[in-house]
Amino acid sequence: MDRYFAGLQAFSIRADYPKCMTRKHGAKRTRRVLAAAALSAALPASAAAAPADISTAESAAFVPGEVLVRYEAGTPKSERAELREGLDAELQRRLLLPRTELLELPPGLGVNAAVAELSGEADVAFAEPNFLYRVASAPNDDEFELQWGLDNDGVFGLADADIDAPEGWDLQTGDPTVVVGVVDTGVTIAHEDLDGNIWANPGESGGGLEANGIDDDGNDLVDDRRGWDFSAEDNDPTDEEGHGTHVAGTIGAEGDNLIGITGVAWDVSLLPLRACNALGSCSNGDVADAFAYAGEKGADVVNASISGSSPSSAQQLAIASAPDTLFVVAAGNEGGDNGVAPRYPCNYTAGNLICVAASNGVDERASFSNFGAASVDLAAPGGGSGGAPIRSTYMADRMNEAFAGALSGDWETGGTPDSWDRTAEASPLPGGTLTDSPGAPHAEDADNFARFGPVDLSADDRCNLRYDLALDLPDAGDRLWVQASSDGADYTSIQGWTGVGSAKLTPSITSFAGSPEVFVRFRLEADGDAEVGDGAHVDNVRIRCASSDYAYLQGTSMAAPHVSGAAALIRSHDAGSTVAELREWLLDGVELKPAFEDLVASGGRLNLHRSLRGADGDDIHRPETSITKAPATRSRSTTAGLTFASDEPASFQCSHNSAPFGACSSPLTLSGLAVGTHSLRVRAVDLAGNEDATPASYAFTVEPPRTKPRNAACAKAKRKLKRARSSKQKRELRKLVKRKCRK
């Protein structure tokens, strides 16, 4: 399971709880991608607003109808307004990046056309679509033994295929003054294993500043005490998906507290920055704003376990504007070479960015993990075959139904006709599904339902409903209602759909949180017309709440936070360290692994202990090897001589034709070489035992020896035959060639 975020856009609604705080300035955000699916949460099905067309819920490479634009320095507000008016575009909001705005385009104006027009203006530094990215000393915590990425005893793969966390904790366990931004789906702030490590904004905390409705720190964000929700434009960055909570736990779940798991950093301040919605879809503007916020607040490290195929000028500017912050990002989960198919932000070339691939429990590349000899820096535990996924903090699933078998007793069906049931028939959704009409089109006058419950949400205060939907209702008068009830009698419509298409959906049901009995039902209403379709297929129904739980996930999203936590510990150990030093110690400190030699720039997997030793002043710097003299690339000689050197005092190890490395010295003579291609790799090993992570290499070819000269008489006869004119001459000369050229 790759939970690195490759899902569809969310079409959830948040109307059932207030957006208590928003930006101080700027138009209220009306994301078209969300508005299309919003229904009134206060109306019963019979009086609800018209359902949305399911075809509007398809995913895209960027948010429709939105562009980001950055103006040149000195461009007056009046000229910016004129540019917007020229497009008939509205200002949605000003980003935290100076002179950068998010614009909403008028109907009929395409995003690419608007970008092209804006890019041609002298006052515009850049314009781009609002791209979408996806969320790609041992402690006494009772589940620490399940965290093989920190300390692997061989139960989950190969012993010591881990980051040597216990050895590192002997040197450092963290410092709450070190701040790590988590740019993700949010963080479950009240989680039992995270709440003590959540950042508090000093400019919005204490003396009643937390909720006074005033922008006390002057950043245009009101009461941003615990970070910010850029996806929904409010001051509550609580997770609605679970991914960000999982990432945060790996970075900095409280250690040594007798609860759950431990983070790489036991004591750290986690700064929640929600830039991704409940389906893991993250818009360019939200990500850039989150990066800028983290830099403005002086975050030491930012973890961004996200990935997309489009480079963003706004993101690169935000990263460059925070040179004292180390950005740790995921390589992506397509299983490909980022040098061939770039992924972003991984492939940005910023000096304060580090990109992470995923290793598995046997110290090999996880099959899903992207790689890149120049674009990906190191590997870290991320799950995959050869081990287990990564255990970390998570939201609580109060209900989880995948329809693998017959409907359980918690399901009830009814209505006319009473036909809802589980089916294995083919549909746009794989595997078994819940459908209104197994094996047949839906009834012309259907009014029927399938209901699940009751579900106990009495301990929860924020929940959403998650489900996959494939819909075939070609008649606009037919619709599927998604409803909830706290008594099983009176139902509230959460969403409504018509049309043909499929999507992953996550409406909020927070208004039902706190209730001991919650029922969820899917209700099909048809208007009696003869035009019918396959009806509805529903799968993977869950109720997920922002409460304390734990889960196994895998992906490069899980690998990156191991590195972020390590960076936080290094900064805790050496408060004066620079970003360049953090990066150097992380990369020099890797544990070299053959599986990563040509896949990541450092050639290895994160080793917390070695990196902390570097911060402690130990020599972990790896020598660099060079071949100073070598034979010709092509030769008939079966002997080859080479010389090599190191940039510091060192011994050498050599590998001829991919054989295991063994001790060697310069100069080196290879003799008795067979005909064919040969390769030699040489690596230096310095006096501290550090090996060169990128051995010097040279390839050459031994050609076959020359054959004996041909018989002179034979050659002469062939030349005469070639010059012969008459048939008679040719006949005689062929006989001569045959005699002279006998072997």
The enclosing domain of 77 has a CATH number of 3.30.70.80
- Judge if 443 and 537 occupy the same domain: yes
Q: Which of 548, 573, 604 is the last residue of a domain?
A: 548
Distances (CA, A) of 6 to 252, 432, 643, 741: 25, 22, 50, 72
507 closest CA partner among 461, 464, 445:
464
304 in a structural domain = yes
- Judge if 251 and 360 occupy the same domain: yes
Whole-number Å distance between alpha carbons of 398 and 273 = 25
Tens digit of pLDDT for each residue in 177-190? Answer: 999 999 999 999 99
Share of the chain above pLDDT 90, in %: 67
Q: What confidence tier does 5 reach under pLDDT thresholds 50, 70, 90?
A: very low
Contact 204, 219 (CB under 8 A): no
Distances (CA, A) of 99 to 126, 176, 227, 286, 664: 11, 34, 22, 16, 59
Whole-number Å distance between alpha carbons of 3 and 278 = 13
CA torsion sign for 69, 70, 72, 77 is: positive
- Judge if 186 and 129 occupy the same domain: no
Whole-number Å distance between alpha carbons of 130 and 635 = 57
25 in a structural domain = no
- Judge if 75 and 116 occupy the same domain: yes
Q: What confidence tier does 374 reach under pLDDT thresholds 50, 70, 90?
A: very high
pLDDT score for 166: 77
Match 């910023």 to its residue by tokens: 350
Q: Where are the beta strands (DSSP E) in 475-559?
A: 479-485, 492-505, 518-525, 535-553
54 in a structural domain = no
Q: Which of 530, 548, 566 is the last residue of a domain?
A: 548
pLDDT over threshold 60, residue 142: no
448 in a structural domain = yes
- Judge if 211 and 340 occupy the same domain: yes
- Judge if 666 and 526 occupy the same domain: no
pLDDT score for 44: 29
Specify whether the backbone of 505 is left (phi greater than 0), alpha (psi in -120 to 50) or beta: beta
48 in a structural domain = no
Higher per-residue confidence, 150 vs 506: 506
- Judge if 470 and 571 occupy the same domain: no
Contact 556, 369 (CB under 8 A): yes
Contact 176, 269 (CB under 8 A): yes
The enclosing domain of 680 has a CATH number of 2.60.40.10
- Judge if 418 and 514 occupy the same domain: yes
- Judge if 380 and 414 occupy the same domain: no
Average of pLDDT values for 577-601? Answer: 94
Q: What confidence tier does 27 reach under pLDDT thresholds 50, 70, 90?
A: very low
pLDDT score for 743: 59
The enclosing domain of 174 has a CATH number of 3.40.50.200
Tens digit of pLDDT for each residue in 711-740? Answer: 788 888 888 888 888 888 888 888 888 888
Tens digit of pLDDT for each residue in 490-547? Answer: 999 999 999 999 888 999 999 999 999 999 999 999 998 889 999 999 999 999 998 8
Distances (CA, A) of 439 to 470, 538, 621: 15, 15, 66
State which residues form the domain around 521: 399-548
Average of pLDDT values for 474-502? Answer: 93
Tens digit of pLDDT for each residue in 380-409? Answer: 999 876 667 888 989 889 999 999 999 988
366 in a structural domain = yes
| Edge-to-edge strand list for the sheet holding 668-670 | 625-629, 640-646, 668-670
The chain-wide mean pLDDT, for the chain, equals 87
Contact 132, 308 (CB under 8 A): yes
- Judge if 470 and 536 occupy the same domain: yes
Whole-number Å distance between alpha carbons of 21 and 225 = 11
Match 């909570």 to its residue by tokens: 245
pLDDT score for 153: 66
- Judge if 482 and 532 occupy the same domain: yes
Distances (CA, A) of 20 to 23, 208, 482, 488, 590: 11, 16, 26, 30, 46
Match 């029922």 to its residue by tokens: 519
- Judge if 453 and 518 occupy the same domain: yes
Distances (CA, A) of 662 to 191, 275, 593, 655, 659: 51, 50, 16, 7, 9
735 in a structural domain = yes
22 in a structural domain = no
**Number of domains observed in the structure of the chain:** 5
For the chain, the straight-line distance linking the first and the last C-alpha, in angstroms and rounded, comes to: 68
